């Protein structure tokens, strides 16, 4: 099993099964190697279950997606995103009462969107392949950073005010979105 450990000032250990079937452990600085190994052993069934789910989704995506994502297709997605996303940003910014700077569309390898401290917004052109409620979630998520530049409880309350069922979109991005990104980027 390919395991990467990322230590930070967190209080708990989090386990993530990645689309390439590697495991990322996010652990507090004080967690020992032995502690982490024990947690991995305790969560072995959970990890195996998620690895099998990812393999199943990968097979399904690969069988459904016979078209290759050429640079031309990516450019078409980016062009479509430049038409659609700014309208969604404007719509939700008005509802939320926030301002924003420039909007940039990219073919990002690991992110669906981001918001800079200056209010500039970046979005992944692959959002054009996702359902519209997922696009709206990513737009709202990034606009909420105009109120809370973090992922605190207050931030998630801002998201929930606009999209009460936002957790379903997070699940879609974890399950289907990571597979979509993997198909296009190979990561």
In terms of DSSP H, where are the helices of the chain? 33-42, 44-64, 71-96, 132-144, 153-162, 166-172, 178-185
Q: By C-alpha distance, which of 69, 175, 87 is closest to 126? A: 69
DSSP letter (8 states) at residue 117 = T
Q: Could you report the per-residue pLDDT of 144-170, keeping only the tens digit for each? A: 999 999 999 999 999 999 999 999 999
pTM: 0.69
Ranges in the chain, pLDDT < 70: 57, 60-68, 182-187
Tell me what the pLDDT averaged over the chain comes to: 88
Q: Quote the CA–CA distance of 52 and 34 in Å, as a whole number.
A: 26
Q: Could you report the per-residue pLDDT of 67-83, keeping only the tens digit for each? A: 567 888 889 999 999 99
């Amino acid at each position: 099993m390919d395991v990467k450990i990322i230590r930070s000032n967190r209080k708990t250990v989090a386990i993530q099964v990645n689309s390439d079937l590697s495991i990322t452990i996010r652990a507090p600085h004080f967690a020992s190697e032995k502690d982490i190994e024990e947690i991995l052993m305790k969560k072995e069934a959970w990890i195996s279950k998620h690895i099998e789910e990812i393999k199943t989704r990968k097979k399904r995506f690969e069988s459904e997606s016979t078209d290759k994502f050429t640079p031309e297709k990516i450019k078409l997605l980016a062009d479509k995103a430049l038409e659609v996303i700014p309208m969604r940003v404007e719509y939700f910014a008005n509802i939320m009462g926030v301002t924003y700077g420039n909007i940039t569309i990219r073919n990002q390898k690991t992110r669906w969107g981001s918001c800079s401290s200056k209010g500039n917004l970046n979005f992944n052109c692959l959002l054009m392949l996702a359902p519209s409620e997922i696009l709206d979630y990513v737009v709202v998520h990034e606009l909420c950073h105009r109120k809370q530049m973090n992922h605190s409880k207050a931030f998630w309350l801002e998201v929930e005010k606009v999209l009460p069922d936002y957790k379903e979109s997070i699940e879609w991005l974890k399950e289907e979105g990571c597979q979509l990104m993997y198909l296009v980027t190979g990561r």
